[in-house]
Structure 1
């Protein structure tokens, strides 16, 4: 009897396993998920930079000068000179300029005599080296031949005086801006002192394409009494914002 029971159990188990296997084989397989296509986002077009107008370049150059507060300055002449007090003919002036003073070297002619002097201007006080002894002297204001010099104001005057500015050449990417404009003598009073009240010259300026710092200006024309139409003054500016130390000289 027990054998029959075991045999029945074995048959039952075998039938159950067989039924399970048949059911597994007949079941539909799980569908393989279809991959979704990856969305392709087209790249954004690079915006075309809008070219600046001459007046915008000029305004940016003024802002760069104001922000700097100091420059290294050079004035020289391709033709002619700049006349200072007492008939002194300045041919070259170079040095450090800040908002409160300057330390410069000047080359000039007095009649047929060539002289070279150093000068320090702090506020309203001016010290000048004696051309004969080389010693520093504090000059009375009425005897100061270069007291009118205010190069930072002069550079700003040049920029503000470009009232009809236009590009000499169409600006190229990565190239400095080249501007030209008539320039009234009044714009350079801080550099020239005595001027022809209605004098007008032509300015050609170079402005850095990144920093907008004015690098140079070439000014042609009669702006002082002894100028001719072919007088050419060259201004060069560099070292914007440098911390120059200008101190009273020790006698």
Structure 2
């Protein structure tokens, strides 16, 4: 009789262990942790639309009174006059009529760099040969190419074929043709 009690306890113990074992596995016999990891979804980032970024940025920048800019050409440059090519420009603009720029460019086959400041209807530029400031004539004003009163938003609306170049932290870099 004692042997039957031990045998019965053994059978009950095995039945309990078997039911616990089966309740912790999935339909294919996989363990509980395997089932959870199969159901985890990987988020997919929303693609950035370069034209939408330009539009939103242009709208936001229309209300600015001043801003910093950095214009770089990967190849070529912006023709400003006969044989005068702007390769890069970096500076500040303040509405309605102030502009400060450091630039690089070329005149014919000669490379040049310089600085330019416009305040109202007066423009000053460093002489590329000796770096001395000189007053420019009115007909050479950079405001003929960029109007601070309209701001950068008018230029952003003219960009064609915008492409996403890079994303760094909170900055989105977009390239295109102007």
Map of 1:139 onto structure 2: 136
Pick from 112, 116, 125 the counterpart of residue 113 of structure 2.
Answer: 116
Map of 1:75 onto structure 2: 71
Pick 1 or 2: higher relative contact order, CA cutoff 8 A, min separation 6. Answer: 1
Matched, 1:89 2:85: yes
| RMSD of equivalent CA atoms | 3.4
Name which one, 1 or 2, has greater alpha-carbon Rg. Answer: 1
Give the number of the structure whose residues are more often strand, by fraction: 2
Matched, 1:157 2:116: no
Map of 1:129 onto structure 2: 126
Map of 1:106 onto structure 2: 103
1:216–1:129 CA distance, 2 compared to 1 (3 A): same
1:154–1:70 CA distance, 2 compared to 1 (3 A): closer
> Displacement, 1:147?
4.0
TM-superposition CA deviations, 1:155-214 (whole Å, max 9, x none): 31244347xxxxxxxxxxxxxxxxxxxx2xxxxxxxxxxxxxxxxxx12368x9xx9xx8
- 1:18-29 to 2 correspondence within 5 Å? none
> Displacement, 1:107?
0.5
Map of 2:163 onto structure 1: 204
Contact 2:114–2:128, Cα closer than 8 Å, also in 1: yes
2: CA distance, partners of 1:115 / 1:83: 14
Contact 2:106–2:112, Cα closer than 8 Å, also in 1: yes
Give the number of the structure whose residues are more often helix, by fraction: 2
Aligned residues: 128
> Displacement, 1:76?
1.1
